[in-house]
Amino acid sequence: MIQVDTRGLSCPQPIVLVNMEIKKGTKEFEILLDSQASIENVARLLNKHKLSFETIQKADHTIYHVK
Amino acid sequence: MKNFFSTRWGIIVVGAVIGILATLLQKFGNPANMGICVACFARDTAGALGFHHAGNLQYVRPELIGIILGSLVMALIFKEFKPRGGSATIVRFFLGIFAVIGALVFLGCPWRASLRLAGGDWNAIVGFAGLIGGIYIGTLFIKKGYNLGRSMPSNKKLSGWIFPASMIILLILLVFGFKKLANANPPHALLWISLGFALIIGALAQRSRFCTVGAFRDMMMIGESYLLTGLGTFIVVAFIMNLLLGQFHPGFANQPAAHTMHLWNFLGMVLAGLAFTLAGGCPGRQLVMAGEGDSDAAIFFLGLIVGAGLAHNFGLTSSGKGIGEFGAAGTIIGIIFCLIIGFTMVQKRK
């Protein structure tokens, strides 16, 4: 599965990378996030595009599984 | 738990509170249209630390310390304090230097540009046009793959603490009246008022991710208006407060700490907007991230301090009379620097 790893990236890289995947029309992908700001920004972006996702909490990062 | 401040109403509350507190700071003694200005206050702080010797511009501004510590406290409470760094650190340092040079040609960071606009200083319209232009150029680079690379989490907590701790020490020296920090006494609100208000602003900015540069950037890049709503509310509320407090004086000429050289107001903010966009956020946001343990943001802030010192020592800063002797040269060199960074720090995308 396609993984978008946004960990350690400054704004607006996380939303830019996720937006590229959305524009490509990728149906299912995972987003790795490690900053709270990106976690909120990316959720806002996914909601805007009415994409459903599942949140998986790891020890040092969060994964959004978009499907 | 849902973070209220990450909602539309949340960012509206944040913008409104910042608008109220910033204009009150002006009422309580800060310079006109300068309730909060990260660039101006970095300059005053640089002066107090002896990095320049410009007459009356030497005072450790508690507002900067307050924003950093307000963010630190929130980051600790909400477990968002994460020591990290190592993303093109030296590039960020120089982006900070040139960002403040651009801002001091215009005479204000994006926060003060907002306050100047809200106070009726129409030169700020020109400044905003430049800011938006600079941000736009930055977004073009980002679309082409510009990226400063990943920061790495540090397994040593200390690395995230060094910067906030140095601010706490500076604050202690200030509170106990360490004489050398108060060589001159520019207009300012009482220390406790400045600090208290800034702690609130820093805390709210941390929760909401308030960013005056991200406001335009996110709108341009993905049509997201969340941050722009916050900035808009900040300006509108500051405008209403200025009307109520008798601080609204519309016009171009004779505005406080401002000049009417439109070309340089514009280009100064093109430089600042571009540098902030390349560095990932406005100066207020950088302070907040530094409070969260981000060493790269802290380095950017130190770049602002060093840049402010250089700007004053070498005649790059403007005054009410117009731009400094080398203000034009500094602005152009800064824009060239940012363009080189924008063109070269590109990562090919698959």
Interface pTM (ipTM) of the complex?
0.94
CA distance A64 to chain B (A): 16
User: Is A23 an interface residue toward B (CB < 8 Å)?
Assistant: no
- The predicted structure's pLDDT at residue B180: 72
Q: How confident is the model over A6-50, as pLDDT tens digits? A: 999 999 999 999 999 999 999 899 999 999 999 999 999 999 999
**Nearest residue in chain A measured CA to CA from B219:** A12
> Do the chains contact at B221 and A35, CB–CB below 8 Å?
no
> Do the chains contact at B151 and A44, CB–CB below 8 Å?
no
Which among B54, B72, B98, B303 is positioned nearest to B167, based on CA atoms?
A: B72
Q: How confident is the model over B296-342, as pLDDT tens digits? A: 999 999 999 999 999 999 999 999 999 999 999 999 999 999 999 99
- The predicted structure's pLDDT at residue B350: 54
A55 and A64 in contact (C-beta within 8 Å)?
yes
**Nearest residue in chain B measured CA to CA from A35:** B80
User: Is A10 an interface residue toward B (CB < 8 Å)?
Assistant: yes
Q: What predicted TM-score, i.e. pTM, was given to this entire model?
A: 0.96
Question: Which residues of B are less than 8 Å from A60 in CB distance?
Answer: 153
Six-digit token string for B73: 């406290």
- The predicted structure's pLDDT at residue B182: 66
Regions of chain B where pLDDT drops below 50: none
Whole-angstrom distance, CA of residue B196 vs CA of residue B193: 5
Question: Which residues of A are less than 8 Å from B3 in CB distance?
Answer: 40
Phi-psi region of B149 (alpha: psi -120 to 50; beta: other; left: phi over 0): left
Neighbouring-strand partners of residue A53: A66
Cα-Cα-Cα-Cα torsion B297, B302, B303, B306, nearest 10 degrees, comes to 170
